[in-house]
Homo-oligomer: A and B are copies of this chain.
């Protein structure tokens, strides 16, 4: 490994750069979430339930691009950990409305603060204005996707 590897071509590719940055940021996030026993997908699901009480599994799947069969296990595990409640949906007998339990709320309150801290630490080489710009440009890409 004394030779230097030429990665200049790959570094001209947007996909390569976004992927590397994602790995850096998510890697840090994973470490930070160990204390809450949450993986990134757990965090996203619970955060959405917290901010959208009564949301259904189907809506979670659609929003987070998770296939329904893969959501089942997540929700089961959250229920077992007493982080969520499932109540009959008011108008649709097939669905269950999902809410955070008191324990779930307390966990996510701390986890969401930690997530913001983790992000900030990953973005520390960037100024506040650069961070704002970066978010704006990233959102432009995935919102305008054809």
Contact = CB atoms under 8 A, between A and B. Distances in A.
Contacts of A62: 1
Interface in A12-67: 12-26, 28-29, 40, 44, 47-48, 51-52, 55, 58-59, 62-63, 65
A14 B44 contact: no
Given A5-B59, A10-B47, A24 B122 contact: no
Contacts of A55: 5
A125 B144 contact: yes
B144 A20 contact: no
Nearest to A5: B63
A20 B5 CA distance: 29
B24 A142 contact: yes
Contacts of A115: 13, 15
Interface string A106-146: 00000010011011011111100011011101111111111
20 contacts: A1-B59, A3-B59, A5-B48, A5-B55, A7-B51, A7-B63, A10-B44, A10-B47, A11-B139, A13-B115, A14-B119, A15-B26, A15-B40, A17-B135, A17-B138, A21-B138, A24-B145, A125-B140, A125-B144, A130-B140
